[in-house]
C-alpha cells in the first residue's frame, strides 16, 4: 500500500484526505514512478473546487519528479531506476507512486535535483511557451507580467531578464516587489496602491506594452487591456481571481485592434517532439543558471490541505512542493 491525497467531493482545502491505495502496475506503454517531490500549482485548486471538473473520488496534482519503479510492456526509453520528471501526468501526483503514459515523462538531467524539477516543470514549461512561443519576447521588449513574485512570475522575471527584455511585474506588497526585482524584474507596480495602467504609461513614456501576461483573471482583465499598445496581445493564462466572462469584442477594437489568447501547456506541448523541445529549452536555462527555481515552501504530503490554504491566500512566494 502507498499514501495518496484524494478528495471525494469538491470544496475547500478540508476535502483533501490522506488515504492508502494500492499502486497500479503499469500497462503497455506506461511507467510507474516513485515520487521524490511533487509540485503544487494553482490549477490544483481549480480542480479541487470544481472549476475544472474531475470525477471523485479523485487524486490531485499533475507534476512531480522521482525514480522509475516499474516499466510496462513496449516501453523502450525508460528503465527501472531512471530519474524522471513530469508536468502533464494524470490526476494523482499527490502520492508516493503514480502510474502514467511514458510519453508524458522526461529524463531528468543529473544536474537538476528532484525538488527543483518538481517545483519547476509545469511553471517552467508555462514560462517557456509564454515567453518563447505565445509572444516571443526579444531584447529591449518591455512587457507586463502579473503576480511577478509567484511561482510562474519568479521564473518569468529571470528568463525575461536573460533574454534582455524589460519586465514590469505587478505585486501586492514591498516584500514581493523586492523578490521580483531580485529575480530580474525591471520595475514593479504595487497594485494595492497604484493604478497599473497609469504606472505602465509613466514607465513607457506613453507607449504602453505590446504584451500582457495575466494569470489573475477577472480582477485584472480591464486593467490589462488598458496597458496594451495598439495591436497588443493580451495573454490570459489563469483564473486566480475567477474566470474572465462576458468578453466584449468591441473593447478590443476600442483599445486599438487588440488580440487576446487563452493558452495552456496542453495546447503547446501537444506532441512528444514539442514536449521534448520545450523541456530541452527549460533544462538549458536551469543548467546555465540563468533561471533558478526558488522553493519558498515545503509541505509534507499529509499537509496538502495546509499548502492549499497558503496558496489560495497568496501567502506563498516562489514555488511550493510536497516532499516525500
H, E, C per residue of 69-131? EEECCCCCCCCCCCEEEECCCCCCCCECEEEEEHHHEEECCCCCCHHHHHHHHHHHHHHHHHH
Do 145 and 244 fall within a single domain? Answer: yes
Q: Residues 269-298: what's their mean pLDDT?
A: 96
Do 144 and 258 fall within a single domain? Answer: yes
* 3-class state of residue 157 by DSSP: helix
Res 209 pLDDT > 80:
yes
**Is 132 part of any domain?**
no
Q: Which has the higher per-residue pLDDT, 272 or 314?
A: 272
d(CA 289, CA 101): 30
pLDDT value at residue 226: 97
**Is 31 part of any domain?**
yes
**Is 129 part of any domain?**
no
d(CA 104, CA 265): 12
Residue (of 169, 158, 161) closest to 220 by Cα position: 169
pLDDT value at residue 78: 98
Do 107 and 150 fall within a single domain? Answer: no
Longest dimension (CA), the chain: 62
Query: What's the CATH code of the domain at 82?
Result: 3.90.180.10
**Is 81 part of any domain?**
yes
Convert 254-266 to b/e letters by CB count within 10 Å (16 or more is b). Answer: ebeebebeebebe
Q: Residues 248-271: what's their mean pLDDT?
A: 96
pLDDT value at residue 42: 86
Q: Residues 153-172: what's their mean pLDDT?
A: 97
Pairing of β 97-101 and β 30-40: antiparallel
d(CA 61, CA 11): 16
Predicted confidence band of residue 151 (pLDDT cuts 50, 70, 90): confident
CB 215 within 8 A of CB 314: no
Indicate the residue among 262, 281, 297 that finishes a domain: 262
Indicate the residue among 242, 262, 282 that finishes a domain: 262
From 111-125, 133-147, 231-245, 283-297, the region with the lowest mean pLDDT: 231-245
Predicted confidence band of residue 316 (pLDDT cuts 50, 70, 90): confident
| pLDDT tens per residue, range 212-233 | 999 999 999 999 999 999 999 9
Indicate the residue among 214, 244, 262 that finishes a domain: 262
pLDDT value at residue 123: 95
Res 206 pLDDT > 80:
yes
Could you give the angle at which helices 42-49 and 304-312 cross, rounded to 10 degrees? Answer: 100
How many domains does the chain divide into? 2
Q: Report which DSSP code applies to 194.
A: S
Do 231 and 300 fall within a single domain? Answer: no
Predicted confidence band of residue 239 (pLDDT cuts 50, 70, 90): confident
Q: Residues 224-250: what's their mean pLDDT?
A: 93
Do 170 and 82 fall within a single domain? Answer: no
Q: Residues 175-188: what's their mean pLDDT?
A: 96
Query: What's the CATH code of the domain at 216?
Result: 3.40.50.720
**Domain residue limits at 34:** 2-120+269-323
Amino acid at each position: 500500500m502507498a499514501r495518496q491525497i484524494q478528495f471525494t467531493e469538491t470544496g475547500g482545502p478540508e476535502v483533501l484526505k490522506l488515504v492508502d491505495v494500492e499502486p497500479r502496475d503499469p500497462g503497455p506503454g506506461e511507467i510507474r514512478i516513485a515520487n521524490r517531490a511533487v509540485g503544487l500549482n494553482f490549477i490544483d485548486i481549480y480542480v479541487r473546487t470544481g472549476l475544472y471538473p474531475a470525477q471523485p473520488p479523485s487524486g490531485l496534482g499533475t507534476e512531480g519528479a522521482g525514480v522509475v519503479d516499474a516499466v510496462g510492456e513496449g516501453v523502450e526509453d525508460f528503465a527501472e531506476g531512471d530519474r524522471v520528471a513530469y508536468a502533464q501526468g494524470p490526476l494523482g501526483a499527490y502520492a508516493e507512486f503514480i502510474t502514467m503514459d511514458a510519453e508524458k515523462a522526461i529524463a531528468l538531467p543529473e544536474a537538476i535535483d528532484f525538488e527543483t524539477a518538481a517545483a519547476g516543470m509545469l511553471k517552467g514549461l508555462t514560462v517557456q511557451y509564454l515567453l518563447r512561443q505565445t509572444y516571443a519576447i526579444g531584447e529591449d521588449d518591455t512587457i507586463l507580467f502579473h503576480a511577478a513574485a509567484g511561482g510562474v512570475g519568479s521564473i518569468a522575471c529571470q528568463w525575461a531578464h536573460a533574454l534582455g527584455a524589460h519586465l514590469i511585474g505587478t505585486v501586492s506588497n514591498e516584500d514581493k516587489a523586492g523578490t521580483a526585482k531580485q529575480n530580474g524584474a525591471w520595475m514593479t507596480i504595487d497594485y494595492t496602491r497604484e493604478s497599473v495602467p497609469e504606472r505602465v504609461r509613466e514607465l513607457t513614456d506613453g507607449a504602453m506594452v505590446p504584451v500582457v501576461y495575466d494569470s489573475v483573471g477577472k480582477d485584472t482583465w480591464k486593467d490589462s487591456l488598458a496597458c496594451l499598445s495598439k495591436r497588443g496581445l493580451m495573454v490570459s493564462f489563469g483564473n486566480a481571481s475567477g474566470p474572465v466572462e462576458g468578453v466584449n469584442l468591441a473593447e478590443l477594437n476600442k483599445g486599438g485592434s487588440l488580440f487576446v489568447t487563452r493558452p495552456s501547456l496542453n495546447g503547446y506541448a501537444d506532441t512528444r517532439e514539442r514536449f521534448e523541445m520545450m523541456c530541452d529549452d527549460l533544462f538549458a536555462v536551469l543548467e546555465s543558471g540563468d533561471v533558478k527555481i526558488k522553493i519558498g515552501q515545503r509541505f509534507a504530503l499529509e499537509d496538502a490541505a495546509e499548502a492549499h490554504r497558503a496558496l489560495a491566500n497568496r501567502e506563498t512566494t516562489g514555488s511550493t512542493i510536497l516532499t516525500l
